[in-house]
Structure 1
Amino acid sequence: MTTPMNTINNRLPIGVFDSGVGGLTVLRALRELLPGEDFRYLGDTARLPYGTKSRESVVRYALQSSRHLVAQGVKLLVVACNTATAAALPDLAEAYPGIPVVGVVRPGARAGCALNTNGRIAVMATESTVQGGAYQAAIRELCPNMRIEAAACSLFVALAEEGWTEGPLVEGIVKRYLDPLFARFEDQPPTSLVLGCTHFPMLAGAIAKVAGEGVTVIDSAVTTAQEVRELLVRHGLGHPEPDRPDAKTYFFATDGRERFARVGSIFLRRAIDPAEVTIVDL
């Protein structure tokens, strides 16, 4: 039986998992907002990408990843993967009723609605996320009269993993995606642009520059971190020493230690030594 929320030790770490390294943008936002917390990050690199898998497989993978983290002892779970959030969040909440579980979709959708001023929201995500409609559904639930248009921006993933995040080449690719997306709104462009993939915050600066001053770019990594902070406060789970300098992060992957460290260093914006990455079999 899962431990009731009010008896969870607030000194326990926060567990974060993703299909790979994209969720490290969420981890980075969490570490910046909650510097006194310890973290356990798991990238299921042996089975990425989740977006090409069936819902049943994604649910199974998410339960296996979360089980590894829960077994180590965590006080909160963050699903730092859009596909896993859309497919498995209810299953994870049911599996761990005593542990808060946060996904990346709803925080981004909520911010997109809250910061919108003209009833039009654009979503940039991967093909599977766009086709699955998770952001569209979450936005419609929160603000039913909002007009939503979404575009699959697959090249952004490769650009982020190569560390190509700014400059004329990147801005040109962003423009190729943004122009037809914004054109769908016809009379006026959206005032909110939600980044619906955890890789995309790496390109947020270039996207904001191309989108223009009238468009607020919503970084779902940042909005997820803000929701985590609110949950910690609400449930009294924040670390009693919120500014301690010795907070630790441990990394786990299911394959490719060296690649995880190399690409992960780009996403986390600090060097990850391959020796810091523990390979696990789920």
Structure 2
Amino acid sequence: MQTSHPIGVFDSGYGGLTILRQIRTSLPDYDYIYLGDNARAPYGSRSFETIYEYTLEAVKWFFDQGCPLVILACNTASAKALRTIQQKDLPGLAPQNRVLGIVRPTSEVIGDMSEGGNIGILATQGTVESQSYILEIKKFFPEVKIEQQACPIWVPLVEYGEQDSPGTNYFIKKYIDLLLKKDAQIDTVLLACTHYPLLETKIKEYMPVDIQVVTQGKIVADSLFDYLNRHPEISERITQEGALSFYTTEQATTFNQQAARFFGAEVNATQVHKL
């Protein structure tokens, strides 16, 4: 019998640690398990079918660990796999459990952050191709204008610790310029990838000063806080001892070295050999 029932937080690699960090700031008492599928990262350029398959495997793993709630802290997984898992798989797997993403909570508030209603999105190729942000934002803010730009080099730069290298400047400026060429009236830019907060300082260097740059960590944390308040039947099933565990499908020593940059503290992970 499971004695611990933590919140599961999933990402294809390290980026979801920026989300977990904010969630723990808002909700420090709950127990958490983080899983990074680093051995198969990045997800951004993979097909819908592959991302769905990988994400479903992770969700099943979390359920086996006793998690009543799983957060897909990965934009690509949220965009390409979440809805199918919620509608097709969850009723048969564990109808009493819940799987949430980060696209919807971001979409619910981003329109209010733009004074002129012109929003830019910087994301992975997979998130852009899914059109998920455009579809979701339009549900809440039908009048806004949205432009997207894929940034396929940004995640590898962060993963390899090159975010401060001179060569990174070129690729940051390149994708910002491409986005702003699509709409000169953009006043709010969403960084729709959980790796991008590590590039935030440089992004702001090349972003016009009158454009607001938005990251997702606090948005998701605030949304989860609200969700648990509205759903005591889920909240009451989560253990609250402040426990925190990290797992990775890659070698743990490699994960630990990189993860600290994203989480802002030392990480001691355990390797999962098979999901």
Q: 1:160-200, CA deviations, whole angstroms, 9 ceiling, x for partnerless residues? A: 224454587655543332123112214x2x22211111111
Query: In the TM superposition, what are the counterparts of 1:204-223 in structure 2 within 5 Å?
Result: 204-223=200-219
Q: TM-score, normalised by structure 2?
A: 0.86
Q: Is the 8 A contact 2:68 2:237 kept in 1?
A: no
The one of 229, 233, 253 equivalent to 2:229 is 233
Give the AA of the match of 1:214.
D
Partners of 2:24 and 2:11 in 1: CA distance? 16
Q: Which residue of 2 is the match for residue 143 of structure 1?
A: 141
Deviations 1:72-125 (A, max 9, x none): 112321001122111221233241432232211122222321211101000001
Which residue among 61, 66, 71 is the counterpart of 1:73? 66
Alignment of 1:260 with 2:255, yes or no, is yes
Structure 1 191/110 Cα, relative in aligned 2: closer, same or farther at 3 Å? farther
Equivalent residue pairs, number: 267
Secondary structure of the corresponding residue to residue 52 of structure 1: coil
User: Percent of counterpart pairs with the same letter?
Assistant: 33
Unaligned runs of 5+ in 1: 1-8
Distance in 2 (alpha carbons) for counterparts of 1:32 and 1:102: 19
Stretch deviating more after TM superposition (260-269 or 95-104): 95-104
Q: Which amino acid aligns with 1:202?
A: L
Per-residue deviation, residues 227-279 of structure 1 (Å, max 9, x unmatched): 1111111112557999x8x6221111222222211111111111223xx3232
Q: Could you report, residue by residue, the CA deviation over 1:195-233 in whole angstroms, capped at 9, with x for unpaired residues? A: 111111212233234324432222123212221111111
> Which residue number in structure 2 is paired with residue 249 of structure 1?
244
CA distance in 2, matches of 1:54, 1:175: 27
Alignment of 1:121-160 (within 5 A): 121-160=119-158
Q: Does the aligned pair in 2 maintain the 1:111–1:218 contact within 8 Å?
A: no
In structure 2, relative to structure 1, the CA distance for the partners of 1:164 and 1:47 (3 Å cut) is closer
Task: Give the alignment's TM-score, normalised by structure 1.
Answer: 0.84
2:80–2:127 contact (8 Å) kept in structure 1: no
Residue in structure 1 matching 2:96, options 77, 95, 98: 98
1:35 counterpart residue number: 28
1:63 matched residue in structure 2? 56
